[in-house]
Amino acid sequence: MKPKPTHGGKRANAGRKSTGATTVSRSVSMPVRTWAALDAAREGQPRGVFIAAKLGLHRTKIIFPKP
């Protein structure tokens, strides 16, 4: 009987442990003139916060359950 290899390959309990949390990111594409108008209107707020407020979105931590 051959011994099990001890290097390489998948091993039980190897790697980072999952916290169950995932990150959701979004991308917005607009013409340069539109970005300039947005920058002028946001009054120092970060772009993401300004756009989320205008769209009525709330920045909250979303945790998706493991499948």
pLDDT tens string 1-24: 777 666 767 778 777 777 776 766
* 10 falls within a domain: no
Tell me how far apart the alpha carbons of residues 37 and 54 are, in angstroms, rounded to a whole number.
14
Q: How many domains does the chain have?
A: 1
Domain that holds residue 38: 26-62
* 33 falls within a domain: yes
Pick from 23, 15, 34: nearest CA to 60 = 23
* 18 falls within a domain: no
Cβ–Cβ < 8 Å for 30, 38: yes
Cβ–Cβ < 8 Å for 34, 41: no
What's the length of the chain?
Answer: 67
State the residue for tokens 């051959």.
2
Look up the pTM and report it. 0.46
Q: For 17-52, write each residue's pLDDT tens digit.
A: 777 767 667 788 889 999 999 999 998 889 888 888
* 51 falls within a domain: yes
